[in-house]
Chain A
C-alpha cells in the first residue's frame, strides 16, 4: 500500500511516472478522512490546496524535474505559519488567525514540491507532554486510543504512526518531538538549536525551540531534514554552516563508534524499559560499537531548570497576544485593561496561563536572581557536562521516556508528574544538542523509544546510527492495528 512506502520509494515511483502526486495525495486524504475522526490528529484539513499543490508538482515532474520531496505529501504541525491557512497553535487565541506568510520551514518544503495535506493538532502553544492542552481536544494514540500520543507534537506523531502522511513536521522545546515519537513508535529528530530556522514558528521558548521531523525511518527523516535545514537570514539564531547530505552518511559502518550510557538515565529506570535499552545496546555492540558509562552530574536539575527558563521566555513571547491586532478578542471590552484581561483570560487555556504566571514570577524584581539567573547558570553547567561527555564518546544513548504512553486524563491535573515525563529529553534542549528517538520495542503492547543525543551538528551521525539500527531490527515497521 502507498502509505507503507518510504519517501524514497514514493519519489522513485513519481520519478518513473508510475503514479502521480495527485493520486498519492488522494490516497492520504482518503486515509485522513477515514481514520482521523478516531484520533483527532488534525486541526485543519487543506484538501483543496493539497490537490492543487499536487497537480503543480505533477506538472513539474512532467517537465522532467525530479526531487526527493517533489510531489510527496506531508502534514505540518499547526505551529508553523502557512500563508492563507489558519495557524491556530492549538489555541483558542489563534482559532481565527489566518497566517499572512509562510514559515521558512514551510517555504523551503513548498519550494521542494512538498504537498501539505493538513495542519496537525498539538498542545496549546506547544505547552504540554500529552496533547491534552489543545483547544481542539486531546489527540489519541493509534496504538491504544485510551492513551495519549505524547506532546506537544502529538498530532504530528499520531498522524505519522497512523500513516496519514509519509512524514510530518514538529517542534521540540523540551522533548516535543522525541517524546511523542517514542510513545507512538515512529522516528523523530530534533536537530541542533540553530540548524533549522525558527522564522514563522510561533514562539514558545525562543532559546529552546527547534523544528524537526517525524518519519517512519531515519532514512526518510534524513531526506526531509536536508531540505528543512540551513541558514536563514530572517532568524539571527540560525547557524550559517553547510548542511551535509544526511542520506549519504546513512550507510557508514558503526565500527569503532563510542557510545556513552548516561548513568543518570538508567538510575531507577523501570526494568522492562531498561531491558529494551540493553537489548538495543547489544545490537550496537554487534555492529562494532563500544559502550562506556558516563555521568552528567547536573542532568537531574534539567527539569527544574527548564521550568524556569521556558516559562520565563514564554511569558514574554506570548505578550503579543493582547486582542489588539490579531487573534482572539473578548466581546465588548469596557476599557484597555478589560480588553487585555478578558482577551487573554478567555483566549488562553490553563496550562498556558500557568506557564505565563510562572515565567512572570521568575523574572520579577526580587526573584530574578534566585530563579532566572540561577537557572541560566545551571543551564551552563548542564551544557558543560554534555561537552565533557562528548570528549569521551561519540553519542549518548538512553531511553526517550520513563514509561510508555499513559492514559488520557491520568496526569493532566498533576503538572509536576506531567513535567517529569520530559526528564530524559529536556537536557538536549537546554544544551542545544540534536536528539533522535527511534522505536526499540514494546512494553504492554505500547511502543518505546531509544534516544540518541550527539554533539552540536552531529545530525548526520545520529541518523547514521539510527539507520544502522533500523537495518538490524524491524521495530519501525510495526504499525498499530487498524492503521497497517
Chain B
C-alpha cells in the first residue's frame, strides 16, 4: 500500500434546524405519522409555488462565516430534474452553478496531533426528498413525504483528505461545528447528518487524480471509515491485478462491510439543471452578513485555544472539552463555580494551603485540571455507559462542583470521591449529604492518625525491622494498613508526613 496515495473528498448533507421546510410552511419535526407534514407545496400539487425560508439562508451564511468562506452576494436556485416517486415535483430545487457559500476551510487535528487544513469548495442550499417505504406493504411501495422539502446544507470538501481517518476527523469537525452554530441537530440515526464519499487512489507522486467512485449515504462515522477502507483496498487490488477503476456510484453495505456498484457514469441521470423560474436569485448584502456575524458563538477552535491559554489545560484536554458546545458549557460551569466555592470557603485545608501560596493562576489551573479530569473521566464514562447526553446529565455542573470542592478542601480523597460520584449518579443526592450520611469525611486530625499508626507499627514488628534495615518499599505497606484501618479516610498527605516521622526511616520526602 505504501506506493498508493488515497484521495478523498466528502459531500456532507446537514439538515438545517429550521422549524418549517425550505419552500413551504410545513413542519420539519421528525417522526410524525407518514404524510402528515406534507403541505400542498410539498406534495407538488398543480399550481403551487415555492417560497424560500429566510431562516435557512441565515443558517447557511452562519456556516459560511464560521469556515471563513465567501458569501455570494447573489446565489441561484436551480432545478435538478429526475423522476422518482419520493420526488413529488419531478425535480429537486438545489443551488447548482451559484451556491451561497464557497471557498472556505477548516483546521482538523489528526491522531498524531498535527493540524491539517481541509478546503471546503462550496456549501449550497437544497431540499431533501421524501422516503420510499418497501417494508410491511404487500405488493406495493409506500411513500412518506414528511421529509420532502426539508432544508439541507450540502457541504462539499476539496479532495484534500489522504486517509479514512482524516475523512472521519474532518466529518467530526463539521459535525461539531454545525452543532455549535445550532444550525443542525447532528442526529445521524435520524439522517440529519450524512455524507457521500468520493474515493480514488493514485501512485504516490503522481499529480493526476485516479478515477473516483462515489459511496452514497453514509450515516455514521464508523461506516465512513470502514466504507472508505474497503473501497481503497478494492481499488488498489483492482488496479494491481490489471483492472481499471470505473467512475460510478456505489453503496456501502454495513452488514457485509463492502461497497457495491449502484450505477455507472453511463447510466447516470442527465439532470437537465436550469435556473428555477419560480424563485428569485437570493441577494445577500453586507448588512445581512454583519447581522449574522454577530450571532456567531465562540467556535470550537477558539474555545479550545482559550481553555489552553486561560486555564492552562493541555492541548488534548482543551480539544476534548470543546468538542461539543454542551460539554464546553458544562466544564466551564464546573470550573467557574469551583472558583467561587474556593473564594467563599477560603478554609486552610491542606491541599489548598500550598496552592494559595503558589498564587491564583496556579490555583485556577489546578482547579481546571481537576474539573477537566472529572468531566473527561468519571462523568464521560457514566454518560457513555448509560447513553445520556451531557445536557441531560444526572449530575449537574453544580452537583459535580459540590463534590470537587470536597476534594479541594481535603474533606475527602480523590479515591473516595469516585465512590461518592457513583452514589450521586445513581441516587441523585448531593455530595455533602452522601459524605455525611456515610461518614466518609477524611481523618485529618494528627492525633487520630498517629493512634492508628502506632497500632499498626505495634502489630507488625517484622516489617518495621525490615523497613528500618533499608527495605524502603515497605513504606507502602504501612500506608495500606493505616488506610485499611481507617476505611480509606485518613488524609493521604497527613498520613505520609506522620508515618515518615513514626517509622523514623531515611525516606526522602
Residue B477 at the A interface, CB < 8 A? Answer: no
> Given A324-B143, A364-B270, are A316 and B49 also a contact pair (CB < 8 Å)?
no
Q: Which residue of A lies closest to B52 (CB)?
A: A236
> Given A316-B81, A322-B83, A364-B270, are A202 and B90 also a contact pair (CB < 8 Å)?
no
Contact among A89, A233, A315, A326 for B45, CB-based, below 8 A? A326
Q: Which residue of B lies closest to A205 (CB)?
A: B277
What mask results when residues 73 to 106 of chain A are scored 1 for a CB within 8 Å of chain B, else 0? Answer: 0000000110000010100001001011101000
Q: Which residue of B lies closest to A94 (CB)?
A: B46
B51: chain A residues at CB < 8 Å are 233-234, 236
B474 to chain A, nearest CB (A): 82
A320 near B277 with CB under 8 A, answer no
Residue A1 at the B interface, CB < 8 A? Answer: no
A319 to B143 alpha-carbon distance, docked (Å): 17
Residue B445 at the A interface, CB < 8 A? Answer: no
B195 to chain A, nearest CB (A): 26
Residue B509 at the A interface, CB < 8 A? Answer: no
B210 to chain A, nearest CB (A): 24
Residue A237 at the B interface, CB < 8 A? Answer: yes
- List which A195-246 residues lie within 8 A (CB) of chain B: 198-203, 205-207, 233-237
What mask results when residues 36 to 76 of chain B are scored 1 for a CB within 8 Å of chain A, else 0? Answer: 00001001111111111000000000000000000000000
Residue A312 at the B interface, CB < 8 A? Answer: yes
B47 near A363 with CB under 8 A, answer no
B79: chain A residues at CB < 8 Å are 316
B88 to chain A, nearest CB (A): 6
What mask results when residues 267 to 285 of chain B are scored 1 for a CB within 8 Å of chain A, else 0? Answer: 0001011100111100000
B145 to chain A, nearest CB (A): 9
B47: chain A residues at CB < 8 Å are 80-81, 87, 99, 103, 199-203
A327 to B48 alpha-carbon distance, docked (Å): 15
What mask results when residues 329 to 348 of chain A are scored 1 for a CB within 8 Å of chain B, else 0? Answer: 00000001000100000000
Residue B230 at the A interface, CB < 8 A? Answer: no
B90: chain A residues at CB < 8 Å are 316, 319-320, 322
A86 to chain B, nearest CB (A): 12
Q: Which residue of A lies closest to B87 (CB)?
A: A319
Contact among B49, B85, B274 for A324, CB-based, below 8 A? B85
B85: chain A residues at CB < 8 Å are 322, 324, 336
B13: chain A residues at CB < 8 Å are none
B49: chain A residues at CB < 8 Å are 198-199, 234-237
Residue A372 at the B interface, CB < 8 A? Answer: yes
A372 near B46 with CB under 8 A, answer no
Residue B91 at the A interface, CB < 8 A? Answer: yes
A187 to B272 alpha-carbon distance, docked (Å): 39
- List which B138-153 residues lie within 8 A (CB) of chain A: 143
What mask results when residues 3 to 27 of chain B are scored 1 for a CB within 8 Å of chain A, else 0? Answer: 0000000000000000000000000
A365 near B270 with CB under 8 A, answer yes
A372: chain B residues at CB < 8 Å are 274
B270 near A325 with CB under 8 A, answer no
What mask results when residues 236 to 278 of chain B are scored 1 for a CB within 8 Å of chain A, else 0? Answer: 0000000000000000000000000000000000101110011
B91 near A319 with CB under 8 A, answer yes
A84 to chain B, nearest CB (A): 14
B244 to chain A, nearest CB (A): 23
A319 near B46 with CB under 8 A, answer no
Residue B89 at the A interface, CB < 8 A? Answer: yes
Interface size class of B (residues with CB under 8 A): 20 to 34
B274 near A363 with CB under 8 A, answer yes
B277 near A99 with CB under 8 A, answer no
Q: Which of B44, B46, B52 has the most CB of A within 10 A?
A: B46
Residue A176 at the B interface, CB < 8 A? Answer: no
Q: Which residue of B lies closest to A312 (CB)?
A: B274
> Given A81-B47, A316-B90, A319-B91, are A236 and B270 also a contact pair (CB < 8 Å)?
no
A216 to B64 alpha-carbon distance, docked (Å): 56
A324: chain B residues at CB < 8 Å are 85, 88, 143
A365 to B278 alpha-carbon distance, docked (Å): 22
B50: chain A residues at CB < 8 Å are 236
A336: chain B residues at CB < 8 Å are 85
B46 near A99 with CB under 8 A, answer yes
B143: chain A residues at CB < 8 Å are 324
A427 to B45 alpha-carbon distance, docked (Å): 30
A312: chain B residues at CB < 8 Å are 274
A325: chain B residues at CB < 8 Å are 43-45, 88
A322 to B45 alpha-carbon distance, docked (Å): 11
A89 to B50 alpha-carbon distance, docked (Å): 21
- List which A293-331 residues lie within 8 A (CB) of chain B: 312-313, 315-316, 319-322, 324-327
B46 near A199 with CB under 8 A, answer no
B270: chain A residues at CB < 8 Å are 364-365
A368 to B81 alpha-carbon distance, docked (Å): 14
Residue A360 at the B interface, CB < 8 A? Answer: yes
A313 to B90 alpha-carbon distance, docked (Å): 12
B118 to chain A, nearest CB (A): 30
B52 near A320 with CB under 8 A, answer no
Q: Which residue of B lies closest to A344 (CB)?
A: B83
A316 to B275 alpha-carbon distance, docked (Å): 11
A364 to chain B, nearest CB (A): 6
B278 near A236 with CB under 8 A, answer yes
A130 to chain B, nearest CB (A): 23
A206 to B40 alpha-carbon distance, docked (Å): 18
A237: chain B residues at CB < 8 Å are 49, 277-280
A202: chain B residues at CB < 8 Å are 46-47
A233: chain B residues at CB < 8 Å are 51
Q: Which residue of A lies closest to B279 (CB)?
A: A236
A360 to B270 alpha-carbon distance, docked (Å): 10
A100: chain B residues at CB < 8 Å are 40, 45
A316 to B277 alpha-carbon distance, docked (Å): 11
B273: chain A residues at CB < 8 Å are 363
A235 to B277 alpha-carbon distance, docked (Å): 11
A201: chain B residues at CB < 8 Å are 47
A365: chain B residues at CB < 8 Å are 270, 272
> Given A363-B272, A364-B270, A365-B270, are A320 and B46 also a contact pair (CB < 8 Å)?
yes
A171 to chain B, nearest CB (A): 11
A320 near B88 with CB under 8 A, answer yes
Q: Which residue of A lies closest to B268 (CB)?
A: A365
B83: chain A residues at CB < 8 Å are 319, 322, 340
Q: Which residue of B lies closest to A199 (CB)?
A: B49
> Given A319-B81, A363-B272, are A236 and B88 also a contact pair (CB < 8 Å)?
no
A312 to B83 alpha-carbon distance, docked (Å): 16
B23 to chain A, nearest CB (A): 9
Q: Which residue of A lies closest to B80 (CB)?
A: A316
A251 to B52 alpha-carbon distance, docked (Å): 41
- List, sorted by A's number, 23 A–B pairs whose CB atoms are closer than 8 Å: A87-B47, A89-B46, A94-B46, A97-B46, A99-B47, A101-B45, A198-B49, A200-B47, A201-B47, A203-B46, A203-B278, A236-B51, A312-B274, A313-B277, A315-B272, A316-B81, A316-B91, A320-B44, A320-B90, A325-B44, A325-B88, A326-B46, A336-B85
Closest 8 CB pairs of A and B: A319-B90, A363-B272, A207-B277, A206-B277, A200-B47, A320-B44, A202-B46, A81-B47
Instruction: Report B's interface with A, CB cutoff 8 A.
Output: 40, 43-52, 79, 81, 83, 85, 88-91, 143, 270, 272-274, 277-280
Q: A206-B277, A324-B88 are in contact. List 10 more A-B contacts (CB 8 A).
A: A97-B46, A100-B45, A237-B277, A316-B90, A320-B88, A322-B85, A322-B90, A325-B44, A325-B88, A364-B272
